[in-house]
């Protein structure tokens, strides 16, 4: 049975969640490796909002600052991705995309999600700029302008209600929401949300690349300044498949289950941020990472005492 590990903790993912966990563990004098493929979810946005004390920061600058803070406590970073994870007798073994295997007593998974947008020409080009998903992140910047809500499921009706808070001119592009019944139409109409059931075939842009509207299946155009849409979310968790972790079916898809401390169904594996919580924004992911980092330290503290007592008993 192995008694030594390369690290106390390996954290996979250096976004808001992973770096927050690393900060707690580094400050707890733990040896920590953070593996990261440097593709955070909000990388295409120029500014972040809804982050107290960090309003308007560039996401990459924010994470670079976080890394520097964490590195000052001795946390190490690796650029390889995690490709598989397996249990060992007393810990976890992570095999990376470059074929190296590293061991640790605990693992924190903080690898976020991937957003898949509907394959409409011109849509993906504006992701994080004029094609948006979260009004709390970017609604204020487009307030009062002509906003489209591009449905990707029947749940988009709620998004149309929400977006109306930021503008009097909202068009609900409803083709992928299914038929809009009379009650929904009445509610949306009561606050002048326009329902446009024709299918969007293209997002139109001017020569500078700015969004000008959408082209519909019959060739008509609707002028818009920004579009809100909910892409399909895919958690970046394939490397954990071999562990058979318990999952939770949510309206956004199937996600690994973790309790509020980040504990998964495997006692040596914790998870934080969007990988378990699709609604989490940056501060919520930071809070989950902070909690997971401190809980992992507590878990190791308990194990350190148990092992010390066992050694004394054995002697």
Distance CA 248, CA 2 (A): 33
Q: Which of 9, 18, 10, 20 is nearest to 39 (CA)?
A: 18
Least spacing, CB of residue 216 vs ligand FAD, in Å: 25
Q: Which is nearer to ligand FAD, 188 or 271 (CB)?
A: 271
Least spacing, CB of residue 307 vs ligand FAD, in Å: 29
Distance CA 50, CA 286 (A): 13
Sign of CA dihedral 266, 271, 274, 277: positive
Distance CA 59, CA 285 (A): 14
Contact 286, 17 (CB under 8 A): yes
Least spacing, CB of residue 278 vs ligand FAD, in Å: 9
Q: Which is nearer to ligand FAD, 111 or 297 (CB)?
A: 111
Least spacing, CB of residue 14 vs ligand FAD, in Å: 5
Name, in order, each residue with C-beta under 8 angstroms of 41's C-beta and a sequence gap of 6 or more.
15, 112, 113, 114, 115, 274
Name, in order, each residue with C-beta under 8 angstroms of 36's C-beta and a sequence gap of 6 or more.
12, 13, 14, 15, 18, 77, 78, 79
What are the CB-based long-range contacts (under 8 Å, 24+) for 155-162? 155/230, 155/251, 156/229, 156/230, 157/184, 157/188, 159/228, 159/230, 160/188, 160/193, 161/187, 161/188, 161/193, 162/135
Least spacing, CB of residue 117 vs ligand FAD, in Å: 10
- H runs (alpha helix) in 72-150: 135-138
Q: Which is nearer to ligand FAD, 110 or 243 (CB)?
A: 110
Least spacing, CB of residue 208 vs ligand FAD, in Å: 20
Least spacing, CB of residue 292 vs ligand FAD, in Å: 11
Distance CA 114, CA 111 (A): 9
Q: Which is nearer to ligand FAD, 82 or 203 (CB)?
A: 82
Applying CB under 6 A, the residues found at the interface with ligand FAD are: 12-18, 35-42, 44-45, 48-51, 81-82, 110-112, 115, 127-128, 133-134, 137, 236, 239, 273-275, 280-283, 285
Q: Which is nearer to ligand FAD, 138 or 268 (CB)?
A: 138
Name, in order, each residue with C-beta under 8 angstroms of 81's C-beta and a sequence gap of 6 or more.
35, 37, 96, 97, 239
Q: Which is nearer to ligand FAD, 184 or 243 (CB)?
A: 243
Q: Which is nearer to ligand FAD, 199 or 234 (CB)?
A: 234
Q: Which is nearer to ligand FAD, 35 or 150 (CB)?
A: 35
Q: Which is nearer to ligand FAD, 131 or 180 (CB)?
A: 131
Distance CA 315, CA 293 (A): 33
Distance CA 61, CA 169 (A): 34
Least spacing, CB of residue 305 vs ligand FAD, in Å: 31
Least spacing, CB of residue 145 vs ligand FAD, in Å: 18
């Amino acid at each position: 049975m192995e008694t030594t590990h390369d690290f106390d903790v390996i954290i996979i993912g250096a976004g808001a969640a992973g770096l927050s966990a690393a900060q707690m563990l580094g400050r707890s004098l733990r040896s920590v490796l953070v593996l990261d493929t440097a593709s955070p979810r909000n990388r295409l946005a120029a500014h972040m909002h809804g982050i107290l004390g960090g309003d308007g920061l560039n996401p990459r600058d924010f994470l670079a600052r976080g890394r520097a803070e964490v590195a000052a406590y001795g946390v190490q970073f690796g650029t390889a991705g995690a490709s598989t994870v397996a249990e060992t007798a007393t810990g976890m073994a992570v095999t990376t995309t470059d074929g190296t295997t590293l061991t640790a007593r605990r693992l924190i998974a903080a690898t976020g999600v991937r957003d898949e947008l509907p394959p409409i020409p011109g849509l993906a080009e504006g992701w994080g700029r004029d094609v948006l998903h979260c009004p709390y992140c970017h609604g204020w910047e487009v307030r009062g302008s002509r906003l489209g809500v591009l449905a990707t499921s029947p749940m988009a009706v709620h998004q149309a209600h929400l977006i109306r808070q930021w503008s009097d001119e909202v068009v609900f592009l409803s083709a992928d929401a299914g038929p809009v019944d009379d009650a929904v139409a009445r509610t949306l109409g009561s606050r002048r949300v326009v329902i446009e059931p024709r299918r969007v075939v293209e997002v139109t842009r001017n020569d500078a690349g700015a969004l000008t509207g959408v082209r519909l299946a019959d060739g008509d155009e609707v002028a818009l300044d920004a579009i809100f849409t909910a892409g399909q979310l895919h958690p970046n968790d394939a490397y954990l498949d071999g562990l058979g972790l318990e999952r939770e079916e949510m309206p956004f898809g199937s996600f690994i289950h973790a309790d509020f401390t980040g504990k998964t169904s495997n006692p040596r594996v914790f998870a934080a941020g969007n990988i378990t919580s699709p609604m989490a924004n940056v501060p919520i992911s930071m809070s989950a990472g902070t909690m997971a980092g401190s809980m992992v330290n507590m878990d190791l503290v308990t194990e350190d005492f148990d092992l010390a007592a066992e050694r004394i008993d054995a002697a």
